[in-house]
Structure 1
């Protein structure tokens, strides 16, 4: 099977990768590809194969086991997306208690208050960039308040986060990783010196498992890094992508507005399936040869699981390119699958539902304020979304 050069697909692939994924899927569920940066890896595009890969212990999350070095692990520390059991089991167990459904639901009044304040500021204007006005500031405010990041530091954090997930220059990602690592080290030390406080970082400093285990300083820094990046970037684009899907499918927008109580939960799940915020998982590394049908991924190879591609597989979802908020989207891969399923999924769902309900209630005439083809898409295969989303009402 020929090696696929993703760079040859051009800007069309970034704006709408789904026809390309569909074409690849007709040729097989797994392909060896060369990314736009020259990196070589295997891309999984089938739904069944993606679910299998996401739970396959032969595909390690540890770059070291694959003979690779990842900058964030070197600078920040071993985070949940870069370790395997038993280390992953231990780290997740120490933080999972902070993201139970009960604890997340307790955040609803604050999420609603933040949303109301953001909309109060922009609704009178009649138009806005939805990313800047709502989709970004809501989740960044929530996660920073949750972790105890000072409000004055959030603009700097936004700049670092943007460069890490969608760098604008060759060295921008590395500079942002180093800057964020130094910032988190200082923030954690400040909290350690200050003593008990009512925020998640302070709670994690005190957290101990039943056997007395606790997070080391590098582990705590790495966890804070992951929660800050993943805890808002995914939600930014869940909200923005979801609104964009509604505005480019006016029949579905009208349907949702007619029955927010009955349809909102399903609409958010369909948004996650149809055009979710995470295009691929982070790298996995084959510790031995792994077969998918007649295709064998060799030992030592890097693997990306196509979450967006799998969620549009016609073998799993009928008419997968149709956006249908009444669909039964169970089995979508918007938040991954298996032990690395997104820890913050309940919080992301809560924020998206509050944001969408409030926006559609207060701005019933919501419409795009730009042609879809004019939107600037985020580069790379990790986060799917646009830098801006101009809207009017």
Structure 2
């Protein structure tokens, strides 16, 4: 990874741009769409799902065009914490079978469990400069009951050939530098990366492979005209036989069937000043990344410059920029004894789109259009794999390439009220923290 100079992140009482804008490798110089373009497959969205789909289609010789409203990574990808987490959010390899059946559950478990390895292999194959750190992803347990459950989960994963184990409380406390945990589930194939650098690298690789990518080209309309899709942007038009919607929450504005299918989970990501030597020796001394299971969840990881990156969910109770910084510092001091007076250099808004199942989805919209909806806070790993699988399915016609069976989208019931629920739940979690 190239180490770049990092400017001071403006005032310490105002929301900043994401850390990644200061540390990511530059992306390809993509022009806006101009004039009329014909293609077989149009991909809308320049995040991870879109760029991996375009890359793998181009590698298979398909004629593919990608349009992005801004620059690659401008949306949720570039605002994320950069965790590579090959784990379920609410399920285990056995409980998922109660939802999807034995065959469907095992298929999805293979995909989820292998998603971290897929990401790091993809980075290595294309030489992507994104501070890739395959040093493990952990889900710490804050109660003995949860720790006991995680022992069983580790056995479920490892019996299926995945590099997953359980570490005891003393080991976890030594690895994290945090005293509150009773143990942790460890996914050896997980880790972290610079998400903006990653998606820029994927875009560059897609372009090298023959995909045509256009930036600063927001979709003004998308409609079926006869036997083709017609996409209009401010500067031009794309006609395509098939369409992949990969704009995450933005899919709702592209196709009526996608409206009210996701809920926004707002978070604030933040990064400290580079840790000093004593802090580096005490906090995540062997690297790794973790997200715990406390309702008011806490996560932590380091980057190559020594910043500690974490996050907290948006609630109704922490309001105003100064309060946000106080909350960031409070959470760090609460977890890490080596950081009694944390210095926060960056604090930015993030957004994860979630559905009610907390599982990745592929939607069949008919007439040659599909949508990828796979964020749920695990988008870096799952979107990478699903982009490749969608490309394989489109290039070969083999529906068995998909780990997620396509289905017809259905709106979330009482969507307007449900959209407020994550913030309400996080407010209650804040009070109990």
TM-score normalised by the chain length of structure 1: 0.27
The structure where helix makes up a greater share of residues is: 1
The structure where strand makes up a greater share of residues is: 2
TM-score normalised by the chain length of structure 2: 0.25
